[in-house]
Structure 1
Amino acid sequence: MKMLSSRQKNILAKLLESNQFVTIEFLAKWQDVSARTVRYDMDKIDEAIQPFGAAIHRMPGKGVLLRVSDTKRPLLFELAERTTDASDKDSQLLMMGLYMTLKSSFTIQELADVFFLSRSSIQKYMPEVEEWLDSFDLQVVKEAWKGLQVIGTERSIRYALYQMLGEKQTDLERVEQWLAIKGADKELVQSWLRSIQEVRGVQYSETSLAIFCLFLSWWQQQLKTEHYVFVPKDDRHKSRFRLGAIETAIEERTKDSRTRLHESAFLDDLFDQAKVVSYSREAASSDHYEREIAFCRQLLAQVSSVLQTDLESDEKLLHDLTHHVKAAFKRMAQGIEIDNPYTEEIKVRYRAIYEMVFQMTNDMGYRLIAAETAYITMHISAAFERSRNRTFLPTVIVVCSSGLAASSILTTKLEQIEPGFHLISVVNTADLERVLEESEPDFVLTTQELPSSLAPAAKRFRVSPILSDDDKRLIQHEAHKIINRKQLARFNELYEKATLIEPTLFDEKVHRASTSDWREAITLAASPLLEAGYIGRRYIQEMIMSVERNGTYMVFLPRMAFVHAGPENVHKEGISMTVLEQEIDFGDLNPERVDIVIVLAMQEAHNQDFLQLFHYLEDHSSREQLLAKWSGRKDATS
């Protein structure tokens, strides 16, 4: 479905409210844009509503009228009211900055034409675009008879362009149109990229290849106009470069050996830091990266000690991690941030290992952004699962009274489910109470209904002996969740910097609420932060979607749900705690009983606060002391 901007949604809502023609001039004045911009918006709206069987009828002299059936009208209202993606404005600013960087000179009118905005709107956006470009050491200047121009060193311009092309909001197809790349030129660049991948023994991601295709097409034009790069001596540490057929292209397009050296050094660095999907073993060991290897070995040694497994001897992990880290260090040195679409999911599903990576690398003197931390977490988590370490596996009791055949097939099926389990015992109903007294299982699997008096404290699941797909999914989710909790608890136990100091990021009070619906519980818990301006409204929906997508991994402590989303809709860091009047079933898949919801509105720079908060609330006495303190306050709200 086509995404609509905030303005286009406003226009759609206005058309839905009207049962007669509305003039373009009225809509333009209402939205403070040009009539031309509104006509462009109409094209986008028309395209978005076609799947609903709706259309915009245009009549010269009268205006526009929305035609939609009564049955589909509510769907269009939902489309118009749907919260606009937080990146809507940022994407517009990004694309404007990209266009301005690509062009040698431009005018306000040209920008207005390209982005279908009025001149006044462009001028309103310009300060923010200039601030964005300033982060790359670029400036917008006005030149007589030429209009506006983006100036800076050639190196700064190239890094700015490369990073902007890599932003997730960038419309690469639109950039290709701006560059007007000819078919032959595109084929040439694609042949260069195949050559580079062959020489380096790597396969770049599709996104990386698309970015390089655009960048190299633009780069050719820079060389034609003799815009060459200068790379400082400290950054020219290689004696040879792996650029394949591009080396020939550089020789043909440059004048002297010094220029060729700088151009080669710059491009080689870019290809070093790009995302790859595979590489040959020779490619991983062809160069010596002492710092990167030392970093990986130190990190793996520390993680191994916490997870009680030997990750250091996993050669695949060491090669994979070194290959990623050498690119990450390049990006860090050049201020280039990579996007990781799995960051928030990793924070939820593998929180323990994510926290280890963040804290340990930070203690080693490396301040990694969340995306880089998440990628390293993915490598380590994969290796840990390959190791088949049984230290943190959940303990299980199987209750089966229907016979040996049923218990046999159930335990056999259970052994085939990853990540695995410690099976304490297979018992009948009569022996369950005795076995529970002798052991404390993480959960109980039963093939029949159990009396409520049995296993009241242990979580229990009723399953079919042959384990349906739903059964497998449910107990696998529970197993991963328990492993995550045990790992987090162990790291918290060993983490020397954590203290029992009361967290300082709570808003003024601990709140109380009453609801039986977990989605409403998140909304109520987030309301204080929303009202105080800590978060945008979209943040609440993203937290709910995270629970729907990932299940209840975020219930790290009994009865307490730690919910959060990405930092895009966080305006200010804060934490809000809401105590529910009664326990509720939290989540749809494998729900947890919860009576405290903690909303974390945190940007990655404050990641460490999560572990401090977990450490404080894990201690039963400090948790009860905190709740008693806030419950006794006169300004506690309900």
Structure 2
Amino acid sequence: MYVSSRERNIIRLLIKEEEALTVQQIADHLRVSPRTVHRDLKGLDQVLARFGLKLNRQAGIGVSIEGEMADKQALWSAVSRLSFSEYTPEERKAYLLSSLLESSEPLKLTSLARELKVTPATVSQDLSLLEGWLDSFDLRMIRRRGWGVMIQGAEDARRKAMRALIADSFPEEELLHLLKEPAQTPSLGRVERISQRLLGLLEKEHLAVVEEIVRREVSALPYALADSAYIGLVVHIALAVERIGRGETLARTSPETGKDTREFEVAARMAKELEDGLHLDIPEAEVGSIAMYLRGAKLRDEKRDWPEEADVEIAMKAAELIRFVEAETGVKLTDHFSLKQGLIVHLERAVYRLNQNLRIHNPLLEEIRRGYPRLFGVIREGVEQVLPHLSVPPEEIGYLVMHFGSFLERRETAGSIRALVVCSSGVGSSKLLSSRIRKEIPEIKQLTRASLLELKELDTDRYHLLISTVPLPPEYEGYIRVHPFPTKKDIQNIKDQLPRCQEQAGDAKALLPEDGVSTLKNVHEWTGHALALLKGFRHEKVEDPGETPEALLYPILTRLEKAGVITEAGQVLTRLMEREKLGGMGIPGTRLALFHTRGGGVERSSFTVHSLSRPVCIRGMDQSEMEVTTLLLLLAPDKISRAGLDLLSWISSFIVESRYHIRIFESGSPLRVREFLTEHLLRYLQEMTTDKER
């Protein structure tokens, strides 16, 4: 079988895109003329027929490959093993960038041209096209006649460019496969010669060691990592190991990387294991870089480990963004806890990444832009208004669009079919895909999202449908492969399975009582926490607030100790003041201060409000001194259920949801605050129950 390099790239493009593409779109992608594409398409009919596939040409729509996904994968596996003597512009770009980023010496254009089998003039043109990409990483290309070409810039910037190049060149499922079987790279059908050059940035034997250490240490973190973040962390560390081995280390540790954080502790353990296993000396700056990556990659499945210093300030930003989108779209959004909570989690990580200049990769960016053009523009405008001091890139905007897009498409559904949706990360694209499925197929009642890494831990027999955006191992027979933005054909493929699923659902009614009991247990737990919090709620006047936060807090904590809420007022006060030193507790633009802590010395969760007879000066979250007239105090024990954490997290964001909420808490009226809190707690419970049933 003979397939030219261009024909191979047409096959790859049509399999990857799934939707029909016009000849002009293919030509633009390959940087050739439409006439050339027409000529290449003629040669593909016989090749496709050997695999039971057909080239479908539809006037006014475009060209697509028709057939089963398994046959398409077999075709691409066979084609990718063929050798080719020519490279596409994109392949040349990847080769040139990987060579230049890896080298600390100038490279000759003639040598690069010989490797790529093109003329030096073509290499020179390709290099000119790369300068803008390098500029985005603060890297500079130096070119001199007779001397060669090289890249200059900081080591940190060079590594960021390497990571971005790898992320842009490999789908996440390929990198997951590579991490699991690093010694079997040639078995990856889609890993071609240029791809091998890119993977040369990562030593395969070291990659296996790094992946094992990361997997072991990450499991000790109190939060999960999405597959994409897990892969990114392994690549981040593997690149660091390779660069350190070449004598290229980072200049310094970021001052934002605290040595007393859990992330730094985990990073230090990883570094120690790498030093022992690979006989390397890993500087502290490298440990700090790993810790920074961990802090920027947290994923809590939108379930927060309450409380953290940035909660309230980020909650205010999230509420402001929600109000902006609500005003622009005309859709009521402000009363929905799940949307707000997910947005808070994402914004917190996004703001940290932006402040630390950590880039994020969004492989679905262009599809998000095409699928939600108006919403993309609305959220971009909203972010500019809410975060005016930050330059938020399109990649981050895209993930925010996915948060809002999935919610805006959600509809009340009824039915009895259960589906498991598998995506590379388990969030983001899977949430959006789930919303699309709910919208198009109301017969599916329950949709559970999972990442590729989480799939092994699940009992897939409990689901009538297994839907995945990534290829699954052979043991998962009968799954439906779809695009993250499902096409009409994807939806139809799912609908075609409904009669079978409905029959199975009718035969499996025994599963329903268990789900019903689970829902009732959740409702009981949420209600129990809400009632306990209301029962212990206090709103009291403080006649002598003192002059300092310590003087204000100690009498309050002493009264809570007598009430049995806490066991040691001094211990809790120490933790509160340590937290206050880290970031301030005053809520900017208000006369409120929210002090909160979780840990030993607290017997049960507590929320109390304290109106001060005169203002007390307290440091705000924006580091400015402010006058406070109302103190809010949230306390949580060290051991608390997820439902309890959810409730406390909701309260911390609910307080600053709007100016009206703030005025209620500033009012000093115990009855008004209690009634307001009770009313919204009921709404919270109703939404949590509804959301759980979905």
- TM-score (norm: length of structure 2): 0.40
TM-score, normalization by structure 1: 0.43
